[in-house]
Amino acid sequence: MIPLAIPGLQPLAPLTMAASAGTEAYTESDSPAAGLIAAGTAGLMPAAGNIARQAALKGLGAELVGGGIKDIAIKGGAGATVDEALAKLGQGAATTAVKEYVPTTFGQAAGAWGAEQLGAAAVGEAGNLGSALYSGQDYHFSPTEQLLNLTLGQAPFAGASVFRHGLAGFGGEAARRHIEETRTNIDLTGKALDQKRALEEASEKTGVENVPNAAYLSPEELLANNTRINELRARQRAATDEGTSYSEEERQKMLAEEEELVKKQGYAPGTSWGRISIRPRHEGW
Amino acid sequence: MPYDYRHVRDAYDTLKDAGIVSESLPDWSAKMNAQTGSDDYAAGLHDDWIKQASVGVDRLLEMTGLPQLGGAIGSGVGELVGNAEAGERIGADCRGWLLA
């Protein structure tokens, strides 16, 4: 209850629970394996309870919110407009995939609550069994003890479940409002994410100011340069095919001349303006 | 039947606070086992900071009175199903839910 009662510490609850159960089992049994098993199962209890809760709600015909690939919501709410949602994303707000069955009747709420406690208790008991087996301690299964575990032992966790789900966990008007709010959050988050992606794509595109300055040569100069480039390349190809007929110094001079000519020719935008492909202008001539 | 770590620790700490023992818990436990010709104090042979911290948390909680209250309520509930002892133990185990 302590992590649940302190704002911001709620996500730590499974960890503190696992640490508590693990150290307690280790201290009692002197078995590290028993401690690890107890810690693992205690840490899994909230998740197991939630899985059992969702399965029960599905079986009881509760309303499904989300579940699609694009059903993502900003944690803590998206605000009232796309701009607010976008601002929250800009501030680094976390998003989460939404798939949740919400009870809209008291019967569904009661069934879900019972299933959650049973699911968590079952995992806890499996942990007790595992710890006892690994530490060599005796394991006794007593129906009355299990009944007490499920009622007395689970009572604080059941209370925590009510606290966590709030009024929406009881069905009725609060649950319907929760469904509407979640769907609005998903809608706004989807639109904000689309807008954010579009803005990011736009910023990735090379602005005109980033296009290298090209030397504006006359058509005759361009043609002459291109002819010279082709000559130089033909000589290099011939040297490669037929063997070198000039010195290394000459080869370096030719490469330098070719590079200089290519620079003079400048660069031209490609056909796709969205993602500008830069290619030397002489290519394709 | 061997004592659990908490029982051995409590006995050791009481004696140490009174200045009667000065050796470490494992040494004292080994000596007690030898003196009694049993392994009643075996839980104290292996001591580490995890066990010390665990007992420390339990002692802190006991100072609040919550385990005692939970145990009394649990005992009453346990009586309803004919198992007051289990009820008291489950009710007193408030550590899990306090840290959950």
Cβ distance A26 to B90 less than 8 Å, yes or no, reads: no
Cβ distance A156 to B82 less than 8 Å, yes or no, reads: no
Looking at the structure, do residues B2 and B33 belong to the same domain, yes or no?
yes
Cβ distance B78 to A26 less than 8 Å, yes or no, reads: no
Mean pLDDT of B77-81: 90
Q: Which residues contact A145 (CB under 8 A, 6 or more apart)?
A: B83, B86, B90
Please tell me the predicted confidence (pLDDT) of residue A43: 86
Q: Confirm or reject contact between A148 and chain B (CB < 8 A).
A: yes
Cβ distance B100 to A156 less than 8 Å, yes or no, reads: yes
- The backbone torsions φ and ψ at residue A96, rounded to the nearest 5 degrees and listed phi first, read -145, 145
Please tell me the predicted confidence (pLDDT) of residue A283: 46
Looking at the structure, do residues B54 and B92 belong to the same domain, yes or no?
yes
Looking at the structure, do residues B67 and B88 belong to the same domain, yes or no?
yes
Looking at the structure, do residues B35 and B54 belong to the same domain, yes or no?
no
Residues of B in contact with A157 (CB under 8 A): 97, 100
Of the pLDDT bands very low, low, confident and very high (cuts 50, 70, 90), residue B15 is very high
Summarised one tens digit per residue, pLDDT across range A22-37 is: 998 899 888 898 899 9
Looking at the structure, do residues B38 and B52 belong to the same domain, yes or no?
no
Looking at the structure, do residues B25 and B55 belong to the same domain, yes or no?
no
Looking at the structure, do residues B19 and B42 belong to the same domain, yes or no?
yes
Please tell me the predicted confidence (pLDDT) of residue A61: 92
Residue A165 has pLDDT above 90, yes or no: no
Looking at the structure, do residues B13 and B36 belong to the same domain, yes or no?
yes
Number of domains chain B contains: 2
Percent of chain B with pLDDT over 90: 69
Summarised one tens digit per residue, pLDDT across range A173-230 is: 888 888 888 999 898 898 888 888 888 888 777 666 655 555 567 778 888 888 888 8
Mean pLDDT of chain A: 80
Looking at the structure, do residues B82 and B95 belong to the same domain, yes or no?
yes
Residue B67 has pLDDT above 70, yes or no: yes
Summarised one tens digit per residue, pLDDT across range B51-64 is: 999 999 999 999 99
Looking at the structure, do residues B80 and B56 belong to the same domain, yes or no?
yes
Residue B45 has pLDDT above 60, yes or no: yes
Looking at the structure, do residues B35 and B59 belong to the same domain, yes or no?
no
Summarised one tens digit per residue, pLDDT across range A88-126 is: 888 888 888 889 899 989 899 889 988 988 898 888 888
Cβ distance B4 to A28 less than 8 Å, yes or no, reads: yes
Q: How far is it between the farthest Cα atoms of chain B?
A: 47
Mean pLDDT of chain B: 91
Residues of B in contact with A26 (CB under 8 A): 50-51, 54
Q: How far is it, in rounded angstroms, from Cα A132 to Cα A25?
A: 9
Residues of B in contact with A1 (CB under 8 A): 97-98, 100
Q: Confirm or reject contact between B49 and chain A (CB < 8 A).
A: no
Range of the domain at B57: 48-100
Q: Confirm or reject contact between B1 and chain A (CB < 8 A).
A: no
Choosing from B31, B47, B63, the residue where a domain stops is: B47
What count of other Cβ atoms lies within 10 Å of the Cβ of residue A128? 19
**Site from A16, A138, A152 to mutate, B interface, most B CB atoms within 10 angstroms:** A152
CA neighbor of A180 nearest in space, from A63, A62, A262 = A63
Q: Confirm or reject contact between B39 and chain A (CB < 8 A).
A: no
The pTM for the full model equals 0.62
Q: What is the distance in angstroms between the Cα of B68 and the nearest Cα belonging to chain A?
A: 15
Looking at the structure, do residues B57 and B98 belong to the same domain, yes or no?
yes
CA neighbor of A149 nearest in space, from A129, A122, A112 = A122
Summarised one tens digit per residue, pLDDT across range A221-236 is: 888 888 888 888 888 8
Measured between CA atoms, the residue of chain B closest to residue A141 is B86
Question: Which region among A128-137, A182-191, A225-234, B77-86 has the lowest average model confidence (pLDDT)?
Answer: A128-137
ipTM associated with this complex: 0.84
Residue A242 has pLDDT above 80, yes or no: no
**Site from A9, A29, A142, A148 to mutate, B interface, most B CB atoms within 10 angstroms:** A148
Of the pLDDT bands very low, low, confident and very high (cuts 50, 70, 90), residue B40 is very high
**Site from B54, B59, B88 to mutate, A interface, most A CB atoms within 10 angstroms:** B54
